Amino acid sequence: MALNKFDLRLEDLVVETRTCWDSGISDLSQGDRNWVSNAIHRSPELASKIEYERAHTGFCREITVTVEDIQRLYQQRLGE
């Protein structure tokens, strides 16, 4: 069973996270990739593409980061 939209109820059951990168993202440094990955998993409701996969002890949250997600995260960062 896989669910493909943010679900607050499932967030309490997330035991693993994965980050994938949209094909249009190729020029981010490793430092930027680390920051974006951490930031999007801290605020998964901002992700454009999210999927929850059932695991033995809960759910795995997989986020595919898009260019729009990166723009949204950096705008949020600059607004703080």
Residue 46: what pLDDT? 92
Residue 14: pLDDT above 80? Answer: yes
The rounded mean pLDDT for the chain is: 92
Percent with pLDDT over 90 in the chain: 82
Whole-model pTM?
0.89
Average pLDDT over residues 15-22: 96
Q: For the chain, what is the domain count?
A: 1
The residue to which tokens 């669910």 are assigned: 3
- Nearest residue to 3 (alpha-carbon basis) of 47, 52, 44, 46: 52
Residue 1: what pLDDT? 52
Q: Which range of residues forms the domain containing residue 32? A: 2-79
The secondary structure element, H or E, covering residue 47 is: none
Contact in structure between 45 and 1 (CB atoms under 8 Å):
no
